[in-house]
């Protein structure tokens, strides 16, 4: 194989992306765990439900939207169910499918956690970027996701104006 090694520009961009990918999850996770007792993934699951019609999604749709395998999601939702933040029930239209629904306590947990989470996102990601850089980052993210998510399973999340299946 004739390898084209990274040139200086490519190496700079790649190493910075690796560093961000390495450091960002810990920062976001630590704040949510400390202030809300939720992992970032827990919060993401609750937030996705909070934005869905009737605060309810099929488990398969929720798995795609959170980029989780169904077993991983089931495990997390089970924990959230024990804490009375989510409940599961058979889908009325398709008894083989399962719906997950945010409880009143789950809604309260999202509402309580959101301000601190948003403040952390502002401090560590949005504030250091200019408005121009924000738009560049969106375009760069779209370009990368054509390769990282070729089937577009995360599109409904990224473009919330599009209709979503329940």
C-beta of 84: minimal distance to its own copies in Å? Answer: 25
Residues 102 to 141 in contact with its own copies, rule: CB under 8 A: 114-116, 118-119, 121-129, 131, 133-141
Q: How far apart are CA 66 and CA 57, in angstroms?
A: 12
Site map (CB under 8 A) of its own copies, residues 44-83, x = contact:
x----------------------x----------------
| Cα within 13 Å of Cα(109), Cβ side | 24
Give the total residue count for the chain.
Answer: 166
Pick the piece of the chain touching its own copies (CB under 8 A) from 55-63, 78-86, 91-99, 148-156: 148-156
Pick the piece of the chain touching its own copies (CB under 8 A) from 53-61, 86-94, 99-107, 146-154: 146-154
Q: Which of 54, 67, 163 is nearest to 107 (CA)?
A: 54
| Cα within 13 Å of Cα(7), Cβ side | 1
Paired strand residues for 88: 100
Pick the piece of the chain touching its own copies (CB under 8 A) from 56-64, 74-82, 90-98, 153-161: 153-161
User: According to CB under 8 A, which one of 3, 92, 95, 96 is a site residue for its own copies?
Assistant: 3
C-beta of 82: minimal distance to its own copies in Å? Answer: 25
40 touches 113 (CB < 8 A): no
C-beta of 31: minimal distance to its own copies in Å? Answer: 13
| Cα within 13 Å of Cα(17), Cβ side | 10
Tokens of 49: 């439900």
C-alpha dist (Å) from residue 122 to 10, 114, 119, 127, 134: 27, 12, 5, 5, 12
C-beta of 105: minimal distance to its own copies in Å? Answer: 21
86 touches 34 (CB < 8 A): no
In the complex, the residues that contact its own copies under the rule CB under 8 A are: 1, 3-6, 9-10, 12-25, 27, 44, 67, 114-116, 118-119, 121-129, 131, 133-149, 154, 157-158
């Amino acid at each position: 194989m004739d390898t084209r090694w990274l040139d200086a520009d490519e190496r700079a961009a790649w190493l910075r992306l690796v560093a961000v990918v390495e450091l960002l999850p810990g920062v976001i996770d630590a704040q949510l765990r400390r202030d809300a007792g939720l992992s970032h993934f827990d919060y993401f699951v609750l937030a996705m439900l909070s934005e869905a019609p009737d605060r309810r999604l099929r488990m398969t749709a929720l798995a795609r939207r959170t980029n989780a395998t169904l077993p991983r999601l089931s495990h997390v939702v089970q924990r959230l169910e024990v804490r009375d933040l989510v409940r599961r029930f058979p889908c009325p239209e398709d008894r083989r499918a399962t719906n997950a629904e945010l409880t009143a306590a789950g809604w309260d947990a999202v509402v309580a956690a959101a301000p601190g989470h948003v403040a952390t996102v502002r401090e560590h990601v949005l504030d250091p970027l200019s408005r121009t850089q924000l738009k560049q980052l969106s375009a760069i993210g779209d370009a990368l996701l054509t390769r990282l998510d070729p089937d577009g399973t995360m599109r409904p999340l990224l473009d919330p104006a599009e209709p979503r299946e329940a």
